[in-house]
Structure 1
Amino acid sequence: MANNNNNNAAFNFAALSSALNGGAKSDEFVDAKKSKVEAFAGEDLTELPIDFINGLSPAVKKRVEVLQEIQDEHDELKEKFLEEKAALEAKYQVLFQPLYTKRYEIVNGITEVEAEGAANETPADAKVVAMVTTADTAKAEEKGIPSFWLVAMKNNDILAEEITNSDEEALKFLKDIKYTRIDAPKGFKLEFYFDKNPFFSNSVLKKTYQVVEEDDPILENAIGTEIDWLNGKCLTEKKVIKKKAKIGSNNAKPINKTETCESFFNFFDPPEIPENHLNIGEEAVEELQKEMEHDYEIG
């Protein structure tokens, strides 16, 4: 969705169940995920069981010690790599910005693009262009690229599945999407800028992802934006009329209920990890895994 290099960022929940059921705190939860990822990737091959090491001959123990020294050198290089990688991404994010600004200006009709060949056109060509323009005044007055972001988002397979027909009308007012890296805490922020519209009063909807940055970023938390829906325009809820019959009566009294419905705008209300982990069942944990993985995949 955003202009960034984190689109392929991995997301690991191998330790979620044990971390939650063990009542771990947020930082312990993240540490558990990190250790699982490192073990799976074979990053630290020297953390061998004590019983195994004690059973080794002196010669083999010496080899293990040398492996540890190699691992230490590897870790130092990896740390430098991550530092340089972050600096390189920050450098190019600045270089990309003028391009994003030009795109914004063209999409929103702030800057007009000269027609191809306009500089070399003859008086006769100019006359034809003028006639066509006069015949189609409405299109001539149309600025920028209408519905640019809606079309761009629907061109993405993952996002297309999230966008409903009702969402499309609201997303036509989307005029820009900005991606920003953040350092405290580490992660990135997505900002969706909207023109004044009949659906909500927010001019900007934000989504922040806080991640633990290793080779593959690991999601720690996601923070959305509360959408200030205008009266009767909420796209994330629908009213359902149900009838409840009184005991001993054939008459049913209609009851109005509000239920959550599918919408892209649910993206700004991300799933949360409950504070009371001990009360979470296995099925609830699995559902939470799926929701958070899907949420991060969209971002």
Structure 2
Amino acid sequence: MSNDDASDLGVALPAAAAALSAEERAGLVNELKNKLQNLAGQHADVLETLSPNVRKRVEVLREIQSEHDELEKKFFEERAALEAKYQKLYEPLYTKRYEIVNGIVKVEGETNEAVMDEEGDKCVEEKGVPDFWQTAMKMNEILAEEISERDEGALKYLKDIKWSRNDDPKGFKLEFFFDSNPYFKNTVLTKTYHMVDDENEPILEKAIGTKIEWYPGKCLTQKVLKKKPKKGSKNAKPITKTENCESFFNFFNPPQIPEDDDIDDELAEELQDRMEHDYNIGSAIRDKLIPHAVSWFTGEAVQGNEYDGLESDYDSDDQDGDEDEDGDEEDEREERKGKKKRKCKCRPKSAC
């Protein structure tokens, strides 16, 4: 097998293998090479069993296959160019959507009708489409699983989501634009995926997210638990501790491949699952949410019985800070995730 063939094997590894160390990937490539060599030997044996006339026919078929493969290569090249062309054509439509959603422009036929504010004590002019992106995200089953009730306050300030293709290194970038809000200082949060391109099957190399600058006490990826002291304890003050919690904003702190190559199989598998799950979220935002946000907002994009898979974040009981109640909430969330067969086995380490 040539060096080029070995290189192609490295590129063609499944997405999960991208989470392995260089040494482990090399071992996997060698294993695949051995299997392919065995298959090549079987291929030669098959040809030798054919009669001369049938073998000639197979050789002609192989030439036809080569012509097909050349055409397929051109197809992938032209498809990439076509996607880039239409991405530019979409941009003016996305701009119009942004202006309407955020109340920058008015549409024909709308009036200056006022509505009561959240406190119900005064009338205010309702601009744009409130909670547009949050609602659209919660209608998508993959994204709905990531959004906790605590996230909803911050997602109300989400104004727009965009994506762009990167060429060097290959991959794509997601940008989340926020109004000034009481949760974090950033106005733009980004997530960049670096890919190794294998035409139909891009392979994730790594993902990089924005470090969120949380305001004091507003970090949504951590929560403070309070536990009442035991009866008779001299210390009457509640015991507090901080722990990581589920949040959509963990998306901006993606799992990373450790620098230490000495990683056991269980940890490697867990890391692969987390990286795959993270990439699935990014792909859903790029391929489904951004181009069809209006249809997700209205619910038209939900197919078949996907409504049954959506969960209401409003059904959970209010928290009073007691550790036992927080534990019950975590158990319920884990149970719901198990029913949905969620791939991600653990959450990223908090960046607060």
Per the normalisation by structure 1, the TM-score is: 0.72
Q: Choose the corresponding residue for 1:57, options 42, 48, 58.
A: 48
Residue 221 of structure 1 aligns with which residue?
206
Q: Choose the corresponding residue for 1:167, options 141, 148, 151.
A: 151
Q: How many angstroms does 1:101 deviate by?
A: 0.2
Matched ranges for 1:1-299 at <5 A:
12-13=14-15, 15=17, 19-20=20-21, 22-24=23-25, 32=29, 48-50=39-41, 53=44, 57=48, 59=52, 69-115=63-109, 133=113, 141-213=125-197, 214-240=199-225, 256-277=240-261, 279-299=262-282
Query: Is this contact kept in 2: 1:46–1:64, CA < 8 A?
Result: no
Q: How many angstroms does 1:94 deviate by?
A: 0.5
Residue 3 of structure 1 aligns with which residue?
none
Change (3 A) 1:23 1:216: closer
CA RMSD across the alignment: 3.8
- Using the alignment, how far apart are the partners of 2:158 and 2:274 within structure 1? 25
Based on CA coordinates, which of the two structures has the bigger radius of gyration?
Answer: 1
Query: Is this contact kept in 2: 1:23–1:276, CA < 8 A?
Result: no
Unaligned runs of 5+ in 2: 1-12, 283-352
Q: How many angstroms does 1:258 deviate by?
A: 2.7
Query: Is this contact kept in 1: 2:16–2:273, CA < 8 A?
Result: no
- Using the alignment, how far apart are the partners of 2:248 and 2:64 within structure 1? 48
Change (3 A) 1:273 1:74: farther
Q: Secondary structure at the match of 2:250?
A: helix
The more displaced of 89-98 and 58-67 is 58-67
- Using the alignment, how far apart are the partners of 1:210 and 1:135 within structure 2? 46
CA shift digits 1:192-249 (9 cap, x unpaired):
000000000011000112223311323222111110111111000123457999xxxx
Query: Is this contact kept in 1: 2:114–2:125, CA < 8 A?
Result: no
Q: How many angstroms does 1:78 deviate by?
A: 2.2
- Using the alignment, how far apart are the partners of 2:253 and 2:70 within structure 1? 39
Per the normalisation by structure 2, the TM-score is: 0.62
